[in-house]
Structure 1
Amino acid sequence: MKQFSINTNEAGQRFDKYLFKLLKEAPSSFVYKMLRKKNIVLNGKKDDGKSILKEGDVVKVFLADDTFDKFSGVKSNVADTFINVNDGIDFNSYIIYEDGDVILINKPSGVLSQKAEDKDVSINEMAISYMLSSKMILSDELNTFKPSIVNRLDRNTSGMIVFGKSLKGIQILSEMFKERSVDKYYLTIVEGVIDKEQTITGKINKDEKNNKVVIVNEDEKTDKKFDYIKTGINPIAVSKDNKYSLLQIKLYTGKTHQIRAHLSSINHPIIGDGKYGNVKVNDYFRNKYKLRNQLLHSYKLKFYDCDLQVKDKEYTAKIPGVFAKILKGEFDGNVEF
């Protein structure tokens, strides 16, 4: 017999959903059969699986050890995925802020937000590995609850990633990003001079084959359905040779490649952007500053009313070293933002 006590991060879900995670290799028909036969009970009583779990509830599973191991996938412990992920990495240096529900992470350029393939290592795996090594979560708990990031950045975009450590954190933060009750600001350097604050809008269409997006003018008549986008532009400084502009971008909508494609569509592509940028300009910055990726940094998040400690606060992520070098080399004096 196996006994499990429901913790904070497991509470609030239906009993059968919990069992599908606990016995992830078992068919749902097997789980419901065990419930009917009282081989799985909740607080010592028969249950149909529809009860909502509460913290402190006790689940008992009356299965032979080899049967339980087979259906729980114990031989391929989920925690093994995260062992040694952070070897040689000072993950603490990425942390901007942390409490019991949230970690704000300054993701380096070149690191995935979430893995696309099993062999990938992403900031999500790094954060879970950090929690395991710090004993904030136990390996067994990962079978029924996984902490997770709640926003994504392109691999080659640096800056602020929000990670939910608890179920409460994930649920509240996910809803905030969905409802756009988090203000998102980016820093970037673009080709050309932009000296007036402006808000640009349009429609966006994704070219799946080439993994690019195309901006369509709002007034253009078409039968196709496009996503609406809105991007705020606040110029901060112009380079010494009047060739480049440092911008703060406010992201009102969050679509794939929105900032990169939107700025390129108004003839101000981001420097270093191999997809939407100017090859000649990119070569200049690659040769002079070793810039390998688009210079786009998720710089600041401002949170509004919520039941978390980040309520009504804003946080900033330090710019990468190459960004600082370009500012020093191409712009006058100390640029403030």
Structure 2
Amino acid sequence: MSQLINTSQPLSLLYQRSDLVAINKPHGLLVHRSHIASDASEFAVQLLRDQLGQRVYPVHRLDRKTGGVLLFALSESMNSIMQQQFAEGLINKTYLAIVRGYTNDEQDIDYPLRRDHRNGGDAASRPGVEQEAFTHVKTLQRTEIPLPFGNHATSRYSLVELTPTTGRMHQLRKHMAHILHPIIGDRPHGCNKQNKLFKDHFEMNTMLLHAQRISFTHPITSEVITITAPWQTEFGRMFSTLFESGSLPIY
């Protein structure tokens, strides 16, 4: 199987200045220590702190199996400001995913979600309470490959651009499962049979979700900052395997 994390290499820095830094997080790397992933011994916060030689503050989160842009503040004050921007929906985020089936050209998903785990906070953030959740889906490419699955002689997949306007836990994973186009490699929200197919046939053991881009206005300079992350190796390998075009739509 492909090795997803190579901690002998420094984290790839996408953006760096005195108050903010962004990395291209590898698939499989936790942002920080978590009681629900006791098997992990290395974390993005720890690795970046050691690499830069200073304390770092993650201003948002990415799932362990999601790769791509992850933004850190380099001071407590900037961390508070940037977290407030995220909370107010002032940070524009774009993801790419490879999903099962042929998706619509474009689609808006307006489907409330419940939190998965108790995580403190106010009543609206606790398990059992529904929160509004919105995601825009745009299909970039579709493919059909001669790989039998179930009663079908072929398998169909889509490369989609996902733009969430809310930031709920596992929002993109749950929304794509809700419209019956689960993200490949997603557990537990995805299709276990498809996940097994990819593991057995392609030796693919990650989730095909990539945080492609974030854009925001810098709170001090008022400069519009856009940070884009190249796909990690495993995502690129699966794109090249499934789709006819060998070029990655990085923009």
1:89 corresponds in structure 2 to 8
How many angstroms apart in 2 are the aligned matches of 1:153 and 1:245?
22
Structure 1 contact 101–308 (Cα < 8 Å) conserved = no
Deviations 1:245-287 (A, max 9, x none): 0001001111111110111011000111121122221122112
| 1:335 positional shift | 4.6
Kindly indicate whether residue 228 of structure 2 is the aligned counterpart of residue 316 of structure 1: yes
Kindly indicate whether residue 242 of structure 2 is the aligned counterpart of residue 330 of structure 1: yes
How many angstroms apart in 1 are the aligned matches of 2:44 and 2:116?
26
How many angstroms apart in 2 are the aligned matches of 1:318 and 1:259?
20
SS at match of 2:23: strand
In the superposition, relative to structure 1, how do residues 274 and 181 fare at CA in structure 2: closer, same or farther (>3 Å)?
Answer: same
1:256 corresponds in structure 2 to 169
How many angstroms apart in 2 are the aligned matches of 1:184 and 1:173?
14
How many angstroms apart in 2 are the aligned matches of 1:303 and 1:171?
15
In the superposition, relative to structure 1, how do residues 163 and 336 fare at CA in structure 2: closer, same or farther (>3 Å)?
Answer: same
Deviations 1:134-174 (A, max 9, x none): xxx4xxxxxxxx43111111111111111111234323212
In the superposition, relative to structure 1, how do residues 324 and 130 fare at CA in structure 2: closer, same or farther (>3 Å)?
Answer: same
How many angstroms apart in 1 are the aligned matches of 2:41 and 2:7?
17
TM-score, length basis structure 1: 0.61
How many angstroms apart in 2 are the aligned matches of 1:316 and 1:88?
22
1:271 corresponds in structure 2 to 184
In the superposition, relative to structure 1, how do residues 225 and 272 fare at CA in structure 2: closer, same or farther (>3 Å)?
Answer: closer
Structure 2 contact 57–76 (Cα < 8 Å) conserved = no
Give, as a single letter, the amino acid of the residue that structure 2 aligns with 1:150: V
Query: Which one of 21, 45, 49 corresponds to residue 128 of structure 1?
Result: 49
Structure 2 contact 215–227 (Cα < 8 Å) conserved = yes
How many angstroms apart in 1 are the aligned matches of 2:56 and 2:132?
31
How many angstroms apart in 2 are the aligned matches of 1:100 and 1:275?
39
Query: Which one of 191, 215, 225 corresponds to residue 100 of structure 2?
Result: 191
Deviations 1:4-27 (A, max 9, x none): xxxxxxxxxxxxxxxxxxxxxxxx
Structure 1 contact 159–319 (Cα < 8 Å) conserved = yes
Give, as a single letter, the amino acid of the residue that structure 2 aligns with 1:255: R
2:138 corresponds in structure 1 to 234
Structure 2 contact 218–225 (Cα < 8 Å) conserved = no
SS at match of 1:243: strand
Higher helix share: 1
Structure 1 contact 112–122 (Cα < 8 Å) conserved = yes
SS at match of 2:27: coil
How many angstroms apart in 1 are the aligned matches of 2:43 and 2:171?
22
Structure 2 contact 27–67 (Cα < 8 Å) conserved = yes
Q: Which runs of 5+ in 1 are unaligned?
A: 1-86, 138-145, 212-223
How many angstroms apart in 1 are the aligned matches of 2:240 and 2:56?
39
Relative contact order higher in (CA < 8 Å, ≥ 6 apart):
2
How many angstroms apart in 2 are the aligned matches of 1:208 and 1:100?
35
SS at match of 1:270: coil
Structure 2 contact 101–157 (Cα < 8 Å) conserved = yes
How many angstroms apart in 1 are the aligned matches of 2:173 and 2:16?
30
Structure 1 contact 107–160 (Cα < 8 Å) conserved = yes
| Cα RMSD after superposing both structures | 2.4
Q: Which has the larger radius of gyration?
A: 1
How many angstroms apart in 2 are the aligned matches of 1:228 and 1:288?
38
SS at match of 1:239: strand
